[in-house]
Amino acid sequence: MMMVICMATPDEKWATASFEEKYSMMMGSMSEADQKRSAQNVIHLCRCNKCQTNTETGEINAVYCTLGKSEGISEQRGCLCSECSITKTMSMRWKYYCTQGSAVGLSNLNR
């Protein structure tokens, strides 16, 4: 009798991992300062500075999914997060991080 053992490669594991699993793999051991630096490195991928919810406030900050809520945005006028490659890469499943807070805060990581 032949036994088949299925072992997922690291790429396969990443493809099916939840946000919580990916965050733990990538950022879990980083300091808050390193996480902020990491967010600055992907700012060019972020859609927030092109978003109607953001641009109408005049506040052109971004990466709210990592850096947390905006201090200037209170009205939700549409969200581009679902089109963002950071959202897809990290399997983030929320939106309106600018008004709701960071993905970590919305996740199961702090519960």
Query: Does residue 103 bind ligand SF4 (CB under 6 A)?
Result: no
CB of residue 89 vs ligand SF4: minimum separation in angstroms? Answer: 15
Could you tell me the sign of the dihedral formed by the alpha carbons of 91, 95, 101, 106, in that order?
negative
Query: Does residue 96 bind ligand SF4 (CB under 6 A)?
Result: yes
CB of residue 107 vs ligand SF4: minimum separation in angstroms? Answer: 15
What contacts 24+ positions apart, CB below 8 Å, involve 15-21? 17/91, 18/91, 19/90, 19/91, 19/92, 19/93, 19/103, 19/107, 20/107, 20/108, 20/109
Nearer to ligand SF4, 35 or 62 (CB): 62
Which one-letter DSSP state was computed for residue 107? Answer: S
Contacts with ligand SF4, 65-84, as mask; x by CB under 6 A: --------------xxx---
CB of residue 78 vs ligand SF4: minimum separation in angstroms? Answer: 7
CB of residue 37 vs ligand SF4: minimum separation in angstroms? Answer: 20
CA distance 3 to 84: 42
Query: Does residue 19 bind ligand SF4 (CB under 6 A)?
Result: no
Binding residues (CB under 6 A) for ligand SF4: these are 47-48, 51, 53-54, 64, 79-81, 95-98
